[in-house]
Structure 1
Amino acid sequence: MSGAAVRGPRPAVAAAGYAVARGRGASFLLHRRSAVVAGLLTVLLLVACAASLCVGSSAVAPGQALRAAFGMESSATFVVGTLRLPRMTLGLLVGAALGVAGALIQTVARNPLASPDIIGVTHGAAAMTVGAMTFGTVSTAVLPYWSVAGGLAAAALVYVFAWRGGLHAARFVLIGIGFAIALRSVTQLFLTKGDQQTAQQATVWMTGSLNGRGHAEAAPLAFALLLLLPAVVWAARAARSVVLDDDTATALGVRLGRVRLGLATLGVLLAALATGAAGPVDFVALLAPQIARRLTGGAQIPLLCSALVGAFLTVVADVLARTLFSPAELPVGVLTAAVGAPYLLWLIVSNRTGGRA
């Protein structure tokens, strides 16, 4: 979110790149550059969505795709309305959720290396889901709920072990990486215990894929994100205090422990929900917040721009996954990992050499 509620006008906001937008009974601080970037990202996202509907094994004219998307009579009703639109919708929701999740976790940890797939959240979701698939204890319809439970459990363990009278950023990331490695081993152990068909299904799910997914997965995720929207609005404002140093925030009366716990919990929940819907789509939560922060040029990671970048990355990656090796389709997680892994290496090297991450 690019705005935060304030009680009245502030004289120096214009010099800091902010504008005061007044509504009924309240005023809002609006970061001008963030608003412009959000507008440009929205346009790019619409272009990516159009490409997702039009490009594939059979090309569809933009006019026909638009008619089919809005339920009008069209020759592309089956290709667009049944196959591509549900998949694109899920990609939008998953990417946006991961973008916001990564922004919240990086804000709490104060570390650009912190993201759900690095600190073990998605690995916890994967371990729980693959375990449920392997031992056949649940139906396919409830597997996303097991993913959410696994992600929350992994995050809780990382938080407990990282807490030592406070949440130190480096310790948080290192312990998260340790849990991620351990949980990956547990997942591999589950795979060896299952039959061949279950192991293949679990392996495809672990790569993060939108293949064969659609409204059945998108509808519950959309409902959950709608319920969490008030919490995200709160997080956009609360994150402003977390970027301050601890002494300043405490002097202003901010209860940093509670705020950080709330932000981290919300970020983990969003990441777990996205993982439950599409599997672990790696590196979107790592890339999106950093791209958004560099585009807006602020000290705080903007949640709205992070959501837009995450959605854009996921939709574009899915288009490429469908078309690069057509007629074969790659999991979208393969494409995001191909981009995210080199970026992670660059981020580590730049931090070691004193570069600004």
Structure 2
Amino acid sequence: MSPASRDDTVPVRAAVHPAGHAVLRGGRASFLVHRRAVAVAAVLAVLLACAVVAYLCVGESFVAPVEVVRVLFGRPSPDELVVGTLRLPRLVVGLLAGAAFGVAGALVQTVARNPLASPDVIGVTHGAGAATVAAMSFGAVGYGALPYVSVGGGVAAALLVYSFAWRRGLNSSRFVLVGIGVSVALGSLTQLFLTKGDYLVAQQAKVWLTGSLNGRGYEEARPLALVLLVGVPVALWAARAQRGASFDDDTATALGVRLDRVRLGLTAFGVVLASVATGAAGPVDFVALLAPQVARRLTRTAQIPLLSSALTGALVVVVADLLARRLFSPIELPVGVLTAVVGAPYLMWLIVRTRSRTGGISS
């Protein structure tokens, strides 16, 4: 969804665009809406609602869907402890983290103009992870401050990648390759922190590094929810700015787009989202890579749809965590293991597909 034009006199109405769009006008604002994107977002929302109910129903003890709905609407239920206290807080973290990873991946891929670019591939989540593991291993801050430490680490990693990749412009191939190199270096630094810190804390950090929602609750969800809420106006701006950022440098400059500022704003928002999500749920790999591309293929839009990316990311995390809890019960796997099982083959397929089309990694 992106602003299309302005009209001070036309009341709220929809005009069908010949290319399958609808123009919604109201007062001074108007928005160009891709009808297929709206339909896909609606279907994803329904699927996500079904996944939420299934997540709250399934566990060591099965809870009837009727009781789940009663708890969600705040009505008295004998399953309040199981649903409302044990399962719901973990679900909320998964939903918010998945949505944040989905939007972050969409923004980074838009800036890089490369489907291989995502916060976990170019080093952002590795930077957030290294900073968080260092804080956990050496007891530098309290547990509640870890999301803020993650933001600092993610921003530092993004600045490092951006500075090395910038050469009179941002080349997508160089951006991805520099990011992969920074990711490897930060992974080695994380392992160093694990060997130097307290043994018990290091074991907890290793579990966190795999991306796990076990033990997560409203304390971890609060900072992430705040960032997402404050970021709604930024997301509306980003939906419009994506159109200019997707052009090459010469075309964007000719159209009067302040490309450097737009790219910086989109990247900064994506880095903050990915970093806070990493602090809340750990580095859940490949969600930020997978969700935007799935959303784009479903909607068939020129730009990566942010709303569908958020819904796809949330759906992937919720379903993956449900399978992680029940697939090998009573053993519980970290959710990051399940997302990696799906995401790693997809990444290899994407690399092979890109190389076969262009002879190398390109936008």
State if a TM-score over 0.5 links the two structures.
yes
Q: What letter is aligned with 2:250?
A: D
Correspondence 1:176 to 2:179: yes
* Alignment check: 8 A CA contact 1:317 1:332 kept: yes
Aligned mate of 2:60, from 41, 57, 60: 57
Aligned length: 354
1:286-306 C-alpha deviation (Å, 9 max, x unpaired): 000000000011121000000
Partners of 1:99 and 1:322 in 2: CA distance:
22
Partners of 2:87 and 2:227 in 1: CA distance:
22
* Alignment check: 8 A CA contact 1:71 1:81 kept: no
Instruction: Show the counterpart of 1:215.
Output: 218
Identical columns (%) = 67
Instruction: Show the counterpart of 2:112.
Output: 109
1:177-199 C-alpha deviation (Å, 9 max, x unpaired): 00000000000011111232011
Partners of 1:228 and 1:279 in 2: CA distance:
21
Instruction: Show the counterpart of 2:292.
Output: 289
How big is the shift at 1:249? 1.7
Partners of 1:6 and 1:335 in 2: CA distance:
44
Q: What letter is aligned with 1:4?
A: P
Change (3 A) 1:13 1:160: farther
Partners of 1:209 and 1:6 in 2: CA distance:
44
Instruction: Show the counterpart of 1:36.
Output: 39
Instruction: Show the counterpart of 2:229.
Output: 226
Q: What letter is aligned with 1:64?
A: E
TM-score calculated relative to the size of structure 1: 0.96
Instruction: Show the counterpart of 1:7.
Output: 6
Which sections of structure 2, spanning at least 5 residues, go unmatched? none
1:18-59 C-alpha deviation (Å, 9 max, x unpaired): 111122332211101101101111111101111111111111
Instruction: Show the counterpart of 1:186.
Output: 189
How big is the shift at 1:221? 1.1
Aligned mate of 1:16, from 15, 19, 24: 19
Task: Tell me how large the CA RMSD over aligned residues is.
Answer: 1.6
Instruction: Show the counterpart of 1:153.
Output: 156
How big is the shift at 1:5? 4.3
Change (3 A) 1:171 1:307: same
Partners of 1:184 and 1:313 in 2: CA distance:
25
How big is the shift at 1:228? 1.5
1:237-267 C-alpha deviation (Å, 9 max, x unpaired): 1001112232222122111111011111111
How big is the shift at 1:127? 0.8
Q: What letter is aligned with 1:250?
A: T
Partners of 1:41 and 1:177 in 2: CA distance:
31
Aligned mate of 2:328, from 307, 313, 325: 325
Q: Secondary structure at the match of 2:25?
A: strand
Q: Secondary structure at the match of 1:83?
A: helix
Instruction: Show the counterpart of 1:141.
Output: 144
Aligned mate of 2:82, from 79, 84, 90: 79
Q: After the TM superposition, which residues 261-300 of structure 1 pair with which residues of structure 2 at under 5 Å, given as runs?
A: 261-300=264-303
TM-score calculated relative to the size of structure 2: 0.95
How big is the shift at 1:340? 0.2
Partners of 1:56 and 1:332 in 2: CA distance:
15
Aligned mate of 2:122, from 119, 123, 130: 119
